[in-house]
Chain A
């Protein structure tokens, strides 16, 4: 599904001076249905790798193939369409529209897709049901708890039926119990066949994944399977 070949990212100052090498020669493959945790300390390149993978940024060198297609040839509009159809996003800070209802938030990705208006309602209801928030569907998200907000964000990520979900520190703003519930949902989605790429610095959250990639100083230092016997340790389910 995802193939990176010696991919890297260098940031330049606006005046063209001082270059910062944020990511260096990362080569990896992520297969459909995998649950991968990307770990590493602050400044290790986790966020840079995530933004290259989700097309919010472009690499300065190397090749990125998505479903065997070289993404360097795609336009910004084509990448936006791919993000909309193939990818779902869950953020640490939820990024919900506080005054809008659960339904309005979940519907957001559909506004940029070619799903006809009459079908949107049904898709929104299905996604909200999947995260167990049916009863809150018309409630403004500002009135929800942190855990509920993250579930809304997951419903929003699901509504377009994406093949891959990027979760950037999804439990970072949650208590242990809510964090556990969110991870359970992500795990269920993975079991349904979706690819999950989780960025986290918490080992117990990473333990939900099947594979761990560790970055350090912009380089991939570890790429190994995770022993799932530790799954969920540290979280209250």
Chain B
């Protein structure tokens, strides 16, 4: 191996790329998972969401584009009367173009009661929040996400200014503080009173989602059961398999998200691992070349007392050393790229990303690279061990 340093280095590239890819994907996967979980957990473990549509193992019906009209004001009031539940926020959402002067852009807006600001941990950078009175009076007031405000108003403070959505004029009452990129931030959204969104923008009498905050002294499963019982009564459902709503606790949401991100990481790592197979074949190739080049050496070693086992071991060890060095370089390369990605995400995209470099990924990389050496080294090593020493000594 020492004789063809360049050849050996090029052969190791496959292992290096494979291990580095697995490390990068596992690290970024762990970071993404931790980030998403942090975001979800920031809502607190005392949140339960109720979505319309039959329970599925996947996303709720509304997310899949199916319109289900089963959640209504009666459900909200029934849930508010349940002692275990502290507050309920109904929500509807829609997509419209928002216009200010000559500036316009498309956005997704949400409409919910003021209690939602507390539930979704929303903070203001200017202005104020709308009130229950605004909702009851159908006041067309709107709050903008920081990015929406920037897109429409630039550096001007939007509070007090009028914008148009659909056929209505809205007065901007507040702007949310920027949260950076993420799945539960409102930077790119606008928020309005529930009645305005539901009745005037959409003209519907049902809700897209209910969010309930329950008293932490109750168990989440108990509250889920209570909600299910109340909604079944309201919807006159006797057969549980016919439920037209889906109740999900934050705990379950976390489990689902964890399983999805984990499955994604495993899937991507498996794709990256394909390059390990290619790398392994490269190692087998170079080992076969090495066995041929060292035929006389093998003959000599056998003549002076090496057994087939000794020769087999020698070539296997060489193969494992080769892939382990490749693995070590791959881990280092992976660490470098993961660090670069971390700084890119934090300072480039602006997400509060946590740096994760799971030891399990390193252990896996070490194990996989050594195993690759073993698996792909066996055939060349057996070829070497089985060489007839007399023929090997005569080999030119």
Contacts and interface: CB of A to CB of B under 8 A. Distances in A.
A113 B310 CA distance: 11
A42 interface: no
A113 B393 contact: no
Interface in B280-331: 296-297, 299-310
A89 B310 contact: no
Contacts of A108: 300-301, 304
Contacts of B3: 99
B66 to A, nearest CB: 71
A81 to B, nearest CB: 7
B390 interface: yes
Interface stretch (A49-57, A130-138, A201-209): A49-57
Interface string A106-137: 00110111000000000000000000000000
Contacts of A97: 297
Contacts of A77: 307, 309
A95 B390 contact: no
Contact of B306 (A51, A57, A80, A156): A80
B308 A81 contact: no
A64 B308 CA distance: 23
B303 A112 contact: no
B20 to A, nearest CB: 31
Given A95-B299, A95-B300, A81 B305 contact: yes
Interface in B346-396: 389-390, 393
A154 to B, nearest CB: 13
Contact of A76 (B296, B304, B307, B390): B307
A84 interface: yes
A48 to B, nearest CB: 9
A169 B304 CA distance: 17
Contacts of B217: none
Given A51-B390, A56-B389, A91-B393, A109 B304 contact: yes
Given A95-B393, A97-B297, A99-B3, A89 B303 contact: yes
Contacts of A99: 2-3
Contact of A83 (B2, B304, B309): B304
B interface majority secondary structure: helix
Contacts of B304: 83-84, 89, 108-109, 112, 156
Nearest to A57: B390
Nearest to A85: B305
Contacts of B393: 91, 95
Nearest to A95: B300
B308 A54 contact: no
A76 B308 contact: yes
Interface in A21-66: 51, 54, 56-57
Nearest to A47: B390
Nearest to A77: B307
Nearest to A78: B307
Given A56-B389, A57-B390, A99-B2, A113 B297 contact: no
Most chain A CB within 10 A, of B3, B297, B305, B308, is at B305
Most chain B CB within 10 A, of A54, A56, A113, A156, is at A56
Nearest to B396: A93
Contacts of B390: 51, 56-57
Interface string A67-80: 00000000011001
A84 B307 CA distance: 10
A89 B305 CA distance: 11
Contacts of A111: 306
Nearest to B300: A95
Interface of B: 2-3, 296-297, 299-310, 389-390, 393
Given A95-B393, A113-B305, 20 more contacts: A51-B390, A54-B303, A56-B302, A56-B303, A56-B389, A76-B308, A77-B309, A80-B302, A80-B306, A81-B305, A81-B307, A83-B304, A84-B304, A85-B305, A89-B303, A91-B393, A95-B297, A95-B300, A99-B3, A109-B305
Per CB-CB distance, the 8 closest pairs between chain A and chain B, nearest first, are: A84-B305, A112-B305, A109-B304, A95-B300, A80-B307, A83-B305, A77-B307, A112-B306
